[in-house]
Chain A
Amino acid sequence: GAGVSQSPRYKVAKRGQDVALRCDPISGHVSLFWYQQALGQGPEFLTYFQNEAQLDKSGLPSDRFFAERPEGSVSTLKIQRTQQEDSAVYLCASSSPGQGYEQYFGPGTRLTVT
């Protein structure tokens, strides 16, 4: 079946603009994760959903970051008033209880703030 998809793949924003990044998880996957990957670094956890419930948002770096998953499927990560330090690849992953802990990652959205 189809994997995790993310859109857009690339986003350029001027400092101060708001951006919205979309994630379509694998169909039927109840858990959804967002990670931030800076250039040359490993991904870092941002937030986690189980169905529509956001169970952990401890990794969100500031109150400018907001994520939602209103119907327990598609998720959107929103960044308000973008700053240069927000430039990174934003990865989405999904998992299913039937597949243990394995998280399947999408290709990511590369955000560049100028």
Chain B
Amino acid sequence: QQQVKQSPQSLIVQKGGISIINCAYENTAFDYFPWYQQFPGKGPALLIAIRPDVSEKKEGRFTISFNKSAKQFSLHIMDSQPGDSATYFCVAGTGRRALTFGSGTRLQVQP
């Protein structure tokens, strides 16, 4: 049962462009929505997170947009850089318990 659906599976963006990754969830009990970034051979690292009472959160070049009624959220990476090339996971959680990961988006930023 895939509770968090993520798209696209892969994404190629030119340096300086905007990368957009979309996610949808099913379980309305989720109350925590982080995005994790993973480089090859490394564990996932928290990038940015949002709670459902906020519609948007921005940290530097990274912005989460959250639509509670549609049960959708997205990550925007502005001014994408080659160093941003990694796999990104949208994630949903309930309380201080297990996280449910999406299937991941492999982002490649071309110089």
State whether the Cβ of B97 lies closer than 8 Å to any Cβ in chain A.
yes
Contact sample, A vs B, 11 pairs, CB 8 Å cutoff: A33-B98, A41-B103, A41-B104, A43-B44, A43-B101, A45-B100, A93-B43, A101-B32, A101-B96, A102-B46, A108-B42
Chain B residues contacting A80 (CB-CB under 8 Å) are none
Q: How large is the interface on B (under 10, 10 to 19, 20 to 34, 35 or more residues)?
A: 20 to 34
Residue of A41, A43, A93, A106 contacting most chain B CB atoms (<10 Å): A43
State whether the Cβ of A82 lies closer than 8 Å to any Cβ in chain B.
no
Chain B positions within 8 Å of A, measured between CB atoms, are: 6, 32, 34, 36, 41-46, 49, 89, 93, 95-104
Q: A48–B97 contact, CB under 8 A?
A: yes
Q: A91–B98 contact, CB under 8 A?
A: no
Among the listed B45, B97, B103, which residue makes an inter-chain contact with A56, where contact means beta carbons less than 8 Å apart? B97
Number of A residues near B (Cβ < 8 Å) is 26
Nearest-CB distance from A44 to chain B (Å)?
Answer: 7
Interchain CA distance A108-B97 in the complex, whole Å: 19
Chain A residues contacting B99 (CB-CB under 8 Å) are 33, 35, 43, 45, 103
Chain A residues contacting B6 (CB-CB under 8 Å) are 42
Chain A positions 19-53 with a Cβ under 8 Å from a chain B Cβ: 31, 33, 35, 40-45, 48
Among the listed B36, B41, B93, which residue makes an inter-chain contact with A101, where contact means beta carbons less than 8 Å apart? B93
Chain A residues contacting B95 (CB-CB under 8 Å) are 101
Q: A42–B104 contact, CB under 8 A?
A: yes
Q: A42–B32 contact, CB under 8 A?
A: no
Q: A56–B98 contact, CB under 8 A?
A: yes
Nearest-CB distance from A103 to chain B (Å)?
Answer: 6
Chain B residues contacting A107 (CB-CB under 8 Å) are 41-43
Chain A residues contacting B93 (CB-CB under 8 Å) are 101
State whether the Cβ of A59 lies closer than 8 Å to any Cβ in chain B.
yes
